[in-house]
A and B are shown apart, each in its own frame.
Chain A
Amino acid sequence: MTTMTTPIQQERFFEKQTRFTSKSFMVQVVFLIVLIMVPLVPSFKFVDMVAKILIYILFVASYDLILGYTGILSLAHGMFFGIGAYSLALPIYHTSSGPHYYHFFIAIIIAGMLSFILSLLLAAFSLRVQAIFFALVSLCLAEFFLILGDQWRELTLGEDGVSFMMPGIFESRTMTYYMILVVVVFLFLVLVRFTLSPLGRVLKGIRDNEERVIAMGYKSLRYKIYPIVLGSIFASISGILFAAWLRFVDPLTVLGIDTMLFCLLMVIIGGLGTMYGSIVGVIIIYLAQTWLPNILKAIASVLPNHPLIIGLTERWMLYFGILFILIMIYFPKGVIGTIQAKQRDKKLAAMKQ
């Protein structure tokens, strides 16, 4: 122990030594094995659910990078998701000789370039004034793209949506599932690694105290643009995966404002600024979203047949909105955030004794 002097360095050294024996690593390995085994389950519904949850995890985690780690509210994240989905669907649909493997390549290039340019422009235009300006401008841009997807019928077929075939071995759902699994796990680890890097620490600094970060000599505008661009590109990749799984794309599901609202809800319920929180958030909200309408239907069948009760039980989005508000007021840290805060308190109490 000649050079290990500061507590942070000691902590890192300890972490390096115990990396492959620690409990959390074991949990991750078990989790991964379970995910690899999923296609063995004969029910398609279950595989479908897991695949969608995986895709949303990438989508929400990339959003957490922007909102949770940097503290910038982007309302165009759903737009990038939609750009990704359409950049896979449209080239396949408009190629007369059917789907080919190179379409994935095209999709990644189109989605990557478009989301890179758009997010860069968006950030450069609006972050110069106020971080909050970004939210409004991005909302306008997202709405514009929704209208574009709706009305540019020659290209996107409007609200009828585009359905298409997948090339070669990805014709089978199992192969598509494994592709999704590999891409999501890899990119999720990239995101986790990114937040632990020195750059990620600067971003946290910007979120907590921007003036101080500027005073330390970092150009905060530039550092705010990095996560926005990276997060947007990752969102468009998750959009490509979504299109590859569904084989059908329509404006409302991928570009609509509801996608964005669910993404927000997932990030917040999992905990802002905690990468693993996005996993928890996605699972909770996705399950609630699938089961809530059924539960409401069950409740409606018990109660008397009054139009008001039928209306109240049909509108499940109403309860989501109320849930959203209640969480924002009473539970703003989210699941993982609350657990982390409790652990920190315990550590502090132990240090004081």
Chain B
Amino acid sequence: MAAVDIAEQQGTDIKKWAGWIVGIGIWFLPLFGMDFNTYMVLTIAGLSMGMLMFLTASGFSLIFGLMDVLNLAHGAFFAFGAYASYVLLNKFNAYGLVEGAGLLSSIGIFILALIASVILGLIIGLVLEKIIIRRVYGDHLKQILITMGSNMVMLQILILIWGPNEDFVPIPGAFDGSFMLGDIVVSKFRVVAIIVGLIVLAAIQWVMTKTKLGIIVRAGVENPETVQTIGYNINRIFTGVFIVGAALAAIGGSMFTMYKMTVYPHCGDEYMIFALIVVIIGGLGSITGCFYGALMVGLAFNYVAFLAPQLALGTNIAIMLIVLLIKPKGLMGR
């Protein structure tokens, strides 16, 4: 008996390792089509793009994984976050504090912009959860429809406030431009994006696994009644999860506007589709899956855009279909 068990164990181990090796090795294939420096530039671009997508997608995945709510108004949170930091950066730029700033004040202004978008995201998330989302717990169909309606309303409010046009966003001086790492040109903001993405990933994992709050939230998802009898207000916990998800979307929006240096009302809808693809690839509700999915999409998009530009548009959909073909529930889906 034991021997069979061990053999089976080894079999699954080998399968797992083979999966990892293939999964990582496939990203070295583009090296055959380009020289090393280009490859490194594209890899850094892909990683930063992946991190930005992860920021947006993680909020969606968190809300679905913990609350079982499909929030298609995520794009609106993204757009509001983007506009919050746009307004703040523009205000400070009028005093000459943004574009010509040194390293320290750049970091300060950058953090302020993120905080502004987080606060706006928290407020809007709170309002939406209290008024609308609360009524549709447990009914996916209604959730999708009602959040699509909310998305439409919020987008129109956004256009009402800031107008329908594309605007230029100034970014902190120290993050503008690029530097050389050996022979490789590295854009500074890409490094910032990678760092912020890693910090957010670490923070989510730490809160969910190591703190008491995370344990309560996870227990509340497993068994709401018991958690409630112990004395925690489950509704308040769910509201908290929702607004954190909204704030993550707002951070994503804020980062994206600074990355692209422009902002426009429909940006939320566009990047929500990216986020959805990432979430589907990673598996609904899994944060780590979402992380891998985002990196895959970001890297693949950059390589394909270099090797065969006319195919770049279809890459995301192609990856999604391939992953769904191999694992119908996504990479880490339960």
Contacts and interface: CB of A to CB of B under 8 A. Distances in A.
Interface in B294-327: 313-314, 316-317, 320-321, 324-325
Interface stretch (B23-31, B90-98, B151-159, B214-222): B151-159
A125 B318 CA distance: 12
Contact of B313 (A147, A322, A328): A147
A132 interface: yes
A324 B273 contact: no
B277 to A, nearest CB: 5
B146 A325 contact: yes
Interface stretch (B42-50, B134-142, B181-189, B237-245): B134-142
Contacts of A320: 152
Main secondary structure of the interface of A (DSSP, over half): helix
A59 B72 CA distance: 24
A325 B153 contact: yes
A119 B140 CA distance: 21
Interface centre among B136, B148, B316 (most CB of A within 10 A): B148
Interface in A307-352: 311-312, 315, 317-318, 320-322, 324-325, 328-329, 332
Interface residues of A, number: 38
Contact of A140 (B140, B141, B151, B276): B276
A129 B160 contact: no
A318 B324 contact: no
A328 B152 contact: no
A328 B320 contact: no
B170 interface: no
B321 A261 contact: no
Interface in B14-51: none
Interface of B: 70, 72, 132, 135-136, 140-142, 144-146, 148-153, 156-157, 159-160, 269, 273, 276-277, 279-280, 284, 313-314, 316-317, 320-321, 324-325, 328-329, 333
Given A140-B317, A151-B313, A312-B160, 18 more contacts: A73-B140, A75-B144, A125-B325, A128-B328, A132-B144, A135-B144, A139-B273, A140-B276, A140-B320, A141-B317, A143-B273, A144-B316, A261-B149, A264-B145, A315-B160, A328-B145, A329-B132, A329-B146
7 contacts: A73-B140, A75-B144, A125-B324, A148-B313, A318-B152, A318-B160, A328-B146
